[in-house]
Amino acid sequence: MGRLAITLNPAFKKAKKSNARYRILYGGAGSGKSHYVAQETLLNMLSSRNYSYLIVRKTGKSIRNSVFRLLAEMISEMELHSLFRINKTEMTITCVTGSSLITSGLDDVEKLKSVANINRIWVEEASEITEKDFNQLDLRMRGQSKIGYQMTLTFNPISEMHWLKKKFFDVGMQSSFILKTTYLDNRFLDEQYINTLKELERQDEQYYRIYALGEWGTVGNMIYSNWSKEDLSDIKESFDNIYNGLDFGFADDPTAYVRVHLDNKHKKIYIIDEFAKSGLHIDQIARKLDKIMTNEIVTCDSSEPRSIADLRRHGIKAIGAKKGAGSVEHGIRWIQGYQIIVDETCTNTIKELSSYKWKEDKDGQTIPKPEDKNNHLLDALRYALESEMTQNKPKIKLFKQGL
């Protein structure tokens, strides 16, 4: 028998007592959310034979490397190998009491279909999943269960526009328990972690608010909130209707390229490839483009006709964007009318999407001019879609501030 050396973070005491159907454990990074729920899961399984857990994240790969690994480590640290059986291939754990758990990615549809009689669900990094995913999980918690049903959602409050905010905080769900924690609630954090969070404050205020203070990310004067990231690796090869855009670098600014699939019918823009690098010469840019594009057109920043001509000499079908007065604002509004889905590998684009802002006047009022930063890939995105913008007049969605 192991030592059962488990110490729970006191901040989660209330969560332990809650019988609510939905438990919302959100807040900053490093508050101990994942550790707490993992510990509770193992303790519950040891205490009774009735627990049947389904633990999910958006993808199978991500859950294997996070929760499944954490549970296995805990069992090992507590020397409880004799009481739990771990199946690495199936990513399942069973306890001698008869309780069991299955971890799975929501991408593993077959596996999810095959699991039956679940009475506890834990969604780790719940902000990654869609409301539709949530509803499908919710449907699994019905019928007879000796110990009732409970779903626990752990996440960082990335954006006030998120469906989680609307569902549980604004509208309010019946039978939900909400607990916010931050690193200050975690008595096990080391100094290094705390310093990293403090460093964040200097680097990125928005990230600091979300990941250190656990406050909802504000859209405020963000230009794009109509986006989400996804793993598009399985589908992006099949996309047609491709558009390419390029913004030339200058001094420290990177040369930035995006590759886009447009789904006009569903009003979706898929960003499937990118590069952003400063100091690139034309022949290097041409080589990169040649590798990615298949005899397609790339629409470029027209302020550098010489670079465009050079690209053409290298066999790239480069054309200049028309731009013109008001084209930046017009392009932004057009793009705001779409849902943007970015492949998770396009980290530079993701960074820009989460930091591209409108300017503020000296009183802090937002003015309808974008800040001239975090806009390299996003300019390239406008160039890429310019031909579409002039064909399909935008149905302008009213911006929050009435811009």
Ligand X SMILES: Nc1ncnc2c1ncn2[C@@H]1O[C@H](COP(=O)(O)OP(=O)(O)O)[C@@H](O)[C@H]1O
- For strands 242-247 and 255-263, give the pairing: antiparallel
Nearer to ligand X, 33 or 229 (CB): 33
- Give the shortest CB-7-to-ligand X separation in angstroms: 5
Specify the stretch interacting with Mg ion by CB under 5 A; choose among 34-42, 129-137, 187-195, 369-377: 34-42
Tell me, rounded to whole angstroms, the distance of Cα 269 from its chain centroid: 16
**CA distances in angstroms from 27 to 50, 159, 198, listed in the order given:** 30, 12, 16
Alpha-carbon distance 326 to 300, whole Å?
17
- Give the shortest CB-36-to-ligand X separation in angstroms: 6
User: With contact defined as beta carbons under 8 Å apart, do 257 and 380 qualify?
Assistant: yes
Q: Which long-range contacts (CB under 8 A, 24 or more apart) does 209-215 make?
A: 210/28, 210/156, 210/157, 210/158, 211/28, 211/29, 211/156, 212/28, 212/29, 212/182, 212/183, 213/28, 213/182, 214/26, 214/27, 214/28, 214/31, 214/156, 214/157, 214/180, 214/181, 214/182, 215/157
7 binds ligand X (CB under 6 A): yes
- Give the shortest CB-32-to-ligand X separation in angstroms: 4
184 binds ligand X (CB under 6 A): no
Active-site residue (options: 124, 125, 304, 386): 125
**Could you give the string, one character per residue 18-37, with x where binding to ligand X holds by CB under 6 A and - elsewhere?**
-----------xxxxxxx--
- Give the shortest CB-296-to-ligand X separation in angstroms: 42
74 binds ligand X (CB under 6 A): no
The reply to whether 125 belongs to the active site is: yes
- Residue 213 interface partner, choices ligand X, Mg ion, none, CB cut-off 5-8 Å depending on type: none
Nearer to ligand X, 163 or 193 (CB): 193
Q: Which of 86, 115, 189, 293 binds ligand X (CB under 6 A)?
A: 189
156 binds Mg ion (CB under 5 A): no
Tell me, rounded to whole angstroms, the distance of Cα 202 from its chain centroid: 23
- Give the shortest CB-281-to-ligand X separation in angstroms: 43
Alpha-carbon distance 356 to 372, whole Å?
9
Specify the stretch interacting with Mg ion by CB under 5 A; choose among 29-37, 159-167, 184-192, 323-331: 29-37
Q: 382: buried, middle or exposed (CB in 10 Å: 19+, 13-18, 0-12)?
A: buried
- Give the shortest CB-138-to-Mg ion separation in angstroms: 22
| 67: number of Cβ within 10 Å | 24
Nearest one of 275, 281, 288 to 380, comparing CA atoms: 275
34 binds Mg ion (CB under 5 A): yes
Q: Between residue 235 and residue 264, which ones bind ligand X under the rule CB under 6 A?
A: none
Nearest one of 223, 180, 245, 220 to 26, comparing CA atoms: 180
Specify the stretch interacting with ligand X by CB under 6 A; choose among 5-13, 241-249, 320-328, 394-402: 5-13
Nearer to ligand X, 30 or 331 (CB): 30
> Residues with catalytic annotation?
125
Sites of contact with ligand X (CB under 6 A)? 7-9, 29-35, 186, 188-189
Which residues of the chain form contacts with Mg ion (CB under 5 A)? Answer: 34
